[in-house]
């Protein structure tokens, strides 16, 4: 089969998959998961036709996907793919560019610079900020914190890239009690450790309590890590106050804003990111709220030289000219041209389209919370952004409802622990979600919850056994 026909088949199958998202259950059926064995078998010795391979992948693989790109997936903080981002991703796959160097892909290098400029604009960060296109917020945290590690140790007269951490001046790292696990992982990868951090207590919404910041001594290397958008509540750490106090002691402030940073793009939510622009580095995802296809994250560093010092490498054949060399800013050397989808989505949405995407999903989260509260369930957080926490009574009851909602398939919501209680966690992050999707999901959740044996009946049956 010709390449042309093969790609047309792929497009036809992809279109059918996307159409089916409206009607299929969100979670794959157990039958679909069982059939995954059909992808297995001994390694074949001889080649077979590409169209046969594509057909098997679609027939067996597509039903076994989680419909997380569809409009009624509210688990984790995921987001879907805007049509223009998906189409741009296909084209970029055809280009198969190595985005590491200007020499290997002038187009990828140019597009990344533009995508970076526009991202800084909509995120309301300084235009001279440096950036790296990475796989997601975990690597963006790693990259931003690597720049932080470089800068605070360089200020203390230590070259951490050349001399490592053994014998280096100690670095005080401050995090909120609600820091995302990936931020702690990034600290671990950087040799800064998970257990050596100073943890600042948080308030009822998970915000760092600025009044509990430890005293930071000027001249001693220190990094303060803030969060813009708590994965449970959507709450923001008090960035303005923390930045002012940290900077008074020459500390570096890094912000994990995996999804929350995008609140800056919606005028009615921008107050939430007050002071965030005062930080020194930021990590965010494009594959969550910006709705570009996986994988895509951005590490942003106010002083590009600190990022470059942490990430650059040299070899005789990595000639660098006057232009920004992408790989001098990223942990990776060879990588895909991730800037392409970000460029396409920002070009397509414009300022008002992006503001609408953010505002609309926040409003849908409020609609979710109001609907579930109206149905008699308890909302555990202040719904300020796109995140909603729901309790259905006891922990056991809440867990049962979550499992039953996932089995029902109308929508998909995950679970979490919040301040000692089990909760259903709802994140509205997908461009395609409508009011009708939310209403259908509320109805399904209420129906599923009502169909479970009542709490007292559960208590009686388990005590009778
Ligand atoms: C999702 C998330 C991360 C991790 O991002 P990945 O893209 O999965 O690497 C980090 N921090 C926060 C606050 C998040 O929501």
Inside any domain, residue 374 = no
Name every residue whose Cβ is closer than 8 Å to that of residue 111 and which is 6 or more positions away in sequence.
Answer: 337, 339, 340, 343
| 313 CB neighbour count, 10 Å cutoff | 9
**pLDDT at residue 462 above 90?**
no
| C-beta 138 within 6 A of ligand 1 | yes
The distance of Cα 193 from the centroid of its chain, to the nearest Å, equals 23
Backbone angles phi, psi at 146, to 5 degrees: -65, -40
Counting Cβ atoms within 10 Å, is residue 270 exposed (0-12), middle (13-18) or buried (19+)?
Answer: middle
Q: Is the domain of 148 the same as that of 175?
A: yes
Q: How far apart are alpha carbons 27 and 410 in whole angstroms?
A: 9
pLDDT tens per residue, range 377-413: 999 999 999 999 999 999 999 999 999 999 999 999 9
Residue where a domain terminates, one of 310, 345, 380: 345
| C-beta 297 within 6 A of ligand 1 | yes
Name every residue whose Cβ is closer than 8 Å to that of residue 435 and which is 6 or more positions away in sequence.
Answer: 364, 367
Q: What percent of the chain has pLDDT over 70?
A: 97
Residue from 182, 291, 297 to probe ligand 1 pocket by mutation (most atoms less than 8 Å from CB): 182
CA distances from 146 to 133, 298, 302, 309 (A): 15, 14, 13, 9
Distance 297 CA to ligand 1 centre (A): 9
Inside any domain, residue 303 = yes
pLDDT tens per residue, range 56-77: 999 999 999 999 999 999 999 9
Atom of ligand 1 nearest to the CA of 297: 7
Residue nearest to atom 14 of ligand 1 (CA): 258
**pLDDT at residue 458 above 70?**
no
Inside any domain, residue 398 = no
pLDDT tens per residue, range 212-251: 999 999 989 999 999 999 999 999 999 999 999 999 999 9
Inside any domain, residue 446 = no
String of b and e for 403-422 (b: at least 16 CB within 10 Å)? ebbbebbbbbbbbbebeeeb
Inside any domain, residue 17 = yes
Q: Is the peptide bond before 50 cis (omega within 30 degrees of 0)?
A: no
Q: How many domains does the chain have?
A: 2
Name every residue whose Cβ is closer than 8 Å to that of residue 371 and which is 6 or more positions away in sequence.
Answer: 438, 439, 442
Domain carrying residue 243: 87-345
Q: How far apart are alpha carbons 304 and 319 in whole angstroms?
A: 20
Atom of ligand 1 nearest to the CA of 139: 9
Q: Is the domain of 45 the same as that of 97?
A: no
Inside any domain, residue 38 = yes
pLDDT tens per residue, range 30-47: 999 999 999 999 999 999
Q: Is the domain of 102 the same as that of 62?
A: no
pTM: 0.96
Q: Is the domain of 59 the same as that of 125?
A: no
Residue from 138, 261, 425 to probe ligand 1 pocket by mutation (most atoms less than 8 Å from CB): 138
Q: Where are the alpha helices (DSSP H) in 329-338?
A: none
| C-beta 136 within 6 A of ligand 1 | yes
pLDDT tens per residue, range 148-179: 999 999 999 999 999 999 999 999 999 999 99
Tokens of 144: 């931003």
Q: Is the domain of 272 the same as that of 161?
A: yes
Residue from 75, 183, 258 to probe ligand 1 pocket by mutation (most atoms less than 8 Å from CB): 258
Output the pLDDT for position 314.
Answer: 77
What is the rounded average pLDDT for all residues in the chain? 96
Residue 105 belongs to a domain with what CATH number? 3.40.640.10
Residue where a domain terminates, one of 293, 319, 345: 345
Q: Is the domain of 145 the same as that of 236?
A: yes
| Cα Dmax for the chain | 78
Tokens of 310: 């942490």
Mean pLDDT of 7-28: 97
Q: Is the domain of 92 the same as that of 45?
A: no
Q: Is the domain of 59 the same as that of 104?
A: no
Q: Is the domain of 19 the same as that of 62?
A: yes
Q: Is the domain of 290 the same as that of 194?
A: yes
Residue nearest to atom 12 of ligand 1 (CA): 258
Backbone angles phi, psi at 204, to 5 degrees: -60, -25
Per the CB < 8 A criterion, the answer to whether 54 and 9 are in contact is: yes
**pLDDT at residue 101 above 60?**
yes
| C-beta 285 within 6 A of ligand 1 | yes
Residue where a domain terminates, one of 68, 95, 124: 68
**pLDDT at residue 455 above 70?**
no
Q: Is the domain of 157 the same as that of 262?
A: yes
Q: Is the domain of 219 the same as that of 269?
A: yes
Counting Cβ atoms within 10 Å, is residue 15 exposed (0-12), middle (13-18) or buried (19+)?
Answer: exposed
Output the pLDDT for position 465.
Answer: 38
pLDDT tens per residue, range 417-443: 999 999 999 999 999 999 999 999 999
Atom of ligand 1 nearest to the CA of 230: 13
Residue from 180, 281, 286, 297 to probe ligand 1 pocket by mutation (most atoms less than 8 Å from CB): 180
End-to-end CA separation in angstroms for the chain: 63
Inside any domain, residue 299 = yes
CA distances from 53 to 1, 34, 218, 252, 344 (A): 12, 19, 62, 51, 30
**pLDDT at residue 456 above 90?**
no
Q: Report CA dihedral (211, 183, 430, 335) to the nearest 10 degrees.
A: 150
């Amino acid at each position: 089969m010709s390449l042309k026909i093969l790609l047309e088949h792929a497009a036809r199958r992809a279109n059918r998959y996307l159409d089916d998202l409206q009607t299929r259950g969100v979670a794959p059926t157990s039958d679909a998961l069982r059939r995954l064995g059909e992808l297995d078998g001994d390694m074949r010795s001889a080649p077979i036709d590409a169209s046969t391979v594509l057909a098997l992948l679609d027939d067996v693989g597509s039903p076994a996907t989680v419909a997380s790109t569809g409009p009624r997936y509210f688990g984790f903080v995921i987001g879907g793919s805007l049509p223009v981002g998906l189409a741009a991703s296909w084209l970029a796959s055809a280009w198969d560019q190595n985005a590491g160097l200007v020499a290997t892909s002038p187009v990828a290098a140019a597009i990344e610079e533009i995508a970076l400029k526009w991202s800084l604009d909509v995120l309301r960060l300084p235009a001279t900020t440096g950036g790296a296109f990475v796989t997601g917020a975990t690597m963006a945290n790693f990259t931003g914190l690597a720049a932080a590690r470089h800068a605070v140790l360089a200020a203390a007269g230590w070259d951490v890239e050349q001399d490592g951490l053994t014998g280096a001046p100690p670095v005080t790292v401050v995090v909120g009690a609600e820091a995302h696990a990936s931020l702690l992982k990034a600290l671990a990868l950087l040799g800064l450790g998970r257990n050596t951090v100073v943890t600042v207590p948080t308030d009822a919404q998970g915000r760092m309590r600025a009044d509990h910041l430890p005293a930071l001594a000027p001249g001693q290397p220190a990094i303060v890590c803030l969060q813009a958008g708590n994965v449970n509540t959507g709450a923001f750490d008090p960035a303005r106050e923390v930045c002012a106090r940290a900077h008074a002691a020459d500390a570096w402030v890094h912000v994990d804003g995996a999804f929350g940073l995008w609140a800056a793009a919606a005028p009615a939510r921008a107050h939430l990111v007050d002071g965030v622009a005062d930080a020194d580095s930021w990590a965010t995802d494009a594959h969550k709220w910006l709705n570009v296809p996986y994988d895509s994250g951005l590490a942003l560093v106010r002083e590009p030289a600190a990022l470059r010092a942490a990430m650059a490498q040299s070899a005789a054949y990595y000639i660098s000219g006057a232009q920004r060399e992408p790989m001098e800013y990223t942990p990776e050397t060879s990588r895909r041209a991730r800037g392409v989808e970000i460029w396409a989505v920002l070009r397509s949405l414009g300022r008002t389209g992006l503001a609408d995407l953010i505002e609309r999903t926040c409003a849908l989260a409020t609609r979710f919370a109001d609907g579930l509260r109206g149905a008699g369930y308890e909302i555990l957080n202040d719904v300020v952004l796109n995140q909603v926490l729901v309790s259905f009574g006891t922990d056991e009851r809440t867990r049962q409802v979550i499992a039953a909602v996932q089995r029902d398939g109308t929508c998909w919501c995950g679970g979490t622990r919040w301040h000692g209680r089990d909760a259903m966690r709802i994140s509205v992050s997908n461009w395609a979600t409508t009011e009708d999707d939310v209403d259908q999901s509320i109805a399904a959740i209420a129906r599923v919850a009502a169909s479970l044996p009542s709490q007292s009946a559960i208590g009686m049956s388990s005590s009778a056994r």
